[in-house]
């Protein structure tokens, strides 16, 4: 009975760990999306590289192993009809998605606590967060008075 109970407990522990990891990744994606939505961060126009770094900094601060952070893939996808590459060029309410993927291999393995990797059956983790741009509207003002 003890081996069955221990297997159950280790499995429960591993699933709990993966839920915790997925929650941290979701929060990191939201943080990256929040930075991207503003268009300007610390007085600088927001680029995709800045969003990726913000997400990786969040993961590092949350205690993720360096193998998971360096192996993570962070992407920002423009889902709107407006063409832009960097979030600073987006129009108000442009839809975009920040996606984080921890691939199989060393990056994913560094997140596991138990030595039994087949309990959950997962080999990679992917989370995403959809946001809308909060950039200000572009208004042009003509300084000429009409007289």
pLDDT tens digits, one per residue of 90-142: 999 999 999 999 998 888 888 876 665 555 577 888 999 999 999 877 777 77
- Could you count the other beta carbons within 10 Å of the beta carbon of residue 142? 6
Separation between Cα atoms, residue 59 and residue 22, nearest integer Å? 11
Ordered by start, the domain boundaries in the chain are 2-132
Dump pLDDT digits (tens) for 18-34: 888 899 999 999 999 99
Q: What is the pTM of this model?
A: 0.82
């Amino acid at each position: 009975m003890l081996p069955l109970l221990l297997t159950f407990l280790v499995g429960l522990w591993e699933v709990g760990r993966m839920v915790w990891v997925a929650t941290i990744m979701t929060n990191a994606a939201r943080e990256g999306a929040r930075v991207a939505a503003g268009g300007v961060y610390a007085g600088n126009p927001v680029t995709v590289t800045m969003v990726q770094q913000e997400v990786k900094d969040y993961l590092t601060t949350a205690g993720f192993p360096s193998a998971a952070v360096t192996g993570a893939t962070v992407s920002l996808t423009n889902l709107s009809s407006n063409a832009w590459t960097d979030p600073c060029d987006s129009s108000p309410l442009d839809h975009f998605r920040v996606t984080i993927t921890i691939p199989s291999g060393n990056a994913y393995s560094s997140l596991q606590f138990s030595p039994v990797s087949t309990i959950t059956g997962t080999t990679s983790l992917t989370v995403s967060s959809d946001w809308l741009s909060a950039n200000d509207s572009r208004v042009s003002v003509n300084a000429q008075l009409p007289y």
